[in-house]
Homo-oligomer: A and B are copies of this chain.
Amino acid sequence: MSNGGKPQTAITPTRADNYQDWYQEVIKAADLAENSDVRGCMVIKPWGYALWENIQRVLDGMFKATGHVNAYFPLFIPVSFLEKEAAHVEGFAKECAVVTHHRLEARNGKLIPVGELEEPLVVRPTSETIIGASFAKWVQSYRDLPLLINQWANVVRWEMRTRLFLRTAEFLWQEGHTAHSSADEAVEETMKMLGVYAEFAEQYMAMPVIQGEKTAGERFPGAVQTYCIEAMMQDRKALQAGTSHFLGQNFAKASGIQFTDVNNQLTHAWTTSWGVSTRLVGGMIMTHADDDGMICPPKLAPQHVVIMPIARKPEERQRVIDYCKSLKKELEAQQYAGAPVRVLIDDRDSGGGKSWHWIKKGVPIRLEIGPRDIDADSVSMGRRDKGAKDKASVTRGELVAKVTSILDEIQQALFDRALAYRKEHTREINTKDEFYEFFKDPPKKKDSDPTPIHAGFAMAHFNGDPALEAKIKDDLKVTVRCIPLGGGEPGTCPFTGQPSKQRVVWAKSY
């Protein structure tokens, strides 16, 4: 099959040819996850789950360092709890798994649900109401506040159109829930956790993000203010990668979280919630992966280094393996990002396919070691941030001394590349025509062609009118991703000529 003179790549199709199929193929080639037989639910395979475990470990440390403790609350929420907050039930009732029975009985050779529940239970789509019920019991006095709780859990939202990691009926996440004795303190918490998410995204995922506030239309159901981090994917759509909500007293009133304040007045608490999910794995893929497959940012990579012994003659094999083992030990004695360097020896007897196997899985550093390398006391090294055929020979001593700085270089290179990409595809737009032109997708050659890569982020002024935002969403499938923190120069809304406080980020989104 001719490939039209293009360089050969491990993933077919390429990003440019069909971005959505490329995404699925990268996941498959790296063995990260797969669809299950249960509608909308995914199986997270060991390599994908290892990325999530590393995300969890780092974030959990950051949550604890900011004073939070973990707890666990019920999977099931009585429908009456959900109803307590009007906007909240409106937001979640349309897509939830409802438990109605507690037994199966065989009738005519078929298992039938029996034992109907008096009150149906919803599988948690989020836990504000069920955690609120506990907080109401735990809080009496201002001395009981703040309550700073986090939960690692699975949640279910009955999505009709799912996509691995990005949108699935069941997903894994953490949800922070806090209660405070003043609005100011709750707002401060909301912003602090947004900052934690931004730091994590940029420093660990190597994924540049814009921190900002959501407009009313994109707010969490029941929240007073929703803040988010937004990242640009390689199809130039935005991914909302984490949210932090100031809930005011809305949920405290719904759940009865009250305390006697310093003046002995009974007052409702101010609460927050904040979460990130397995969606972050999707974000990593779409930020870093290339036409050769996954690229794991070193700080979260399941393995930092893979060593591939190459011994064609059986009599050489033991010598090469021994050399690899002793090198592994030396590398593992190095500390990277607070833990030993993670090294894997792939001594499967499978020849030349091994290197591509690990390229597709996105391991940061690949080492090939054969008898001649040993004689020269050197190794052949490939870095995943460089081309598949770009290999360098380094001495063993140099490699051991530099392995952590090479990992740092790769981590930084990934971040720099992603930031440059975002900058390249972000444009300040000042007229309505230019805006509509920017977001008009290039024409497809035929109807069955995949959606092409989009234009990017538009930084444009906006008068804040929800009706205008709705019209633009209707026309272009473009929304305000966020109103960036830190403000900006005031100006004129290009759609209405009215005054605008600052430019906002417009984009198509996941």
Contact = CB atoms under 8 A, between A and B. Distances in A.
A172 B70 CA distance: 14
Contact of A75 (B41, B106, B134): B41
**Chain A contact residues (Cβ within 8 angstroms of B): what range?**
35 or more
A83 interface: yes
Contacts of A101: 97-98, 100, 120
Contacts of A50: 69-70
A448 to B, nearest CB: 29
Interface in A366-388: none
A44 interface: yes
A99 B97 contact: yes
Contacts of A78: 37-38
A42 B73 CA distance: 7
Contact of A154 (B89, B103, B130, B154): B154
Contacts of A133: 36-37
A93 B105 contact: yes
Contact of A46 (B37, B71, B97): B71
A73 B43 contact: yes
A111 B89 contact: yes
A232 interface: no
Interface in A483-503: none
Contacts of A120: 101, 104, 113
Nearest to A114: B98
A191 interface: no
A201 interface: no
Count of this chain's copies in the oligomeric assembly: 2
A111 B79 contact: yes
Contacts of A184: none
Nearest to A46: B69
A19 interface: no
Contact of A70 (B37, B53, B99): B53
A102 B95 contact: yes
A82 interface: yes
A430 to B, nearest CB: 44
A55 interface: no
Nearest to A77: B38
Contacts of A5: none
A45 interface: yes
Given A37-B78, A76-B170, A130-B38, A104 B93 contact: yes
Contact of A71 (B43, B69, B170): B43
Contacts of A105: 93
A103 B94 contact: yes
Contacts of A122: 104
A156 interface: yes
B96 A104 contact: yes
B156 A36 contact: no
A107 to B, nearest CB: 12
B97 A102 contact: yes
A259 interface: no
A123 interface: yes
A421 interface: no
A74 interface: yes
A149 interface: yes
Contacts of A53: 70
Contact of A43 (B83, B102, B134, B154): B134
A357 to B, nearest CB: 14
B49 A71 contact: yes
15 contacts: A34-B134, A36-B134, A42-B74, A43-B72, A49-B69, A49-B72, A50-B70, A75-B156, A82-B104, A89-B111, A98-B100, A101-B120, A104-B120, A113-B120, A154-B154
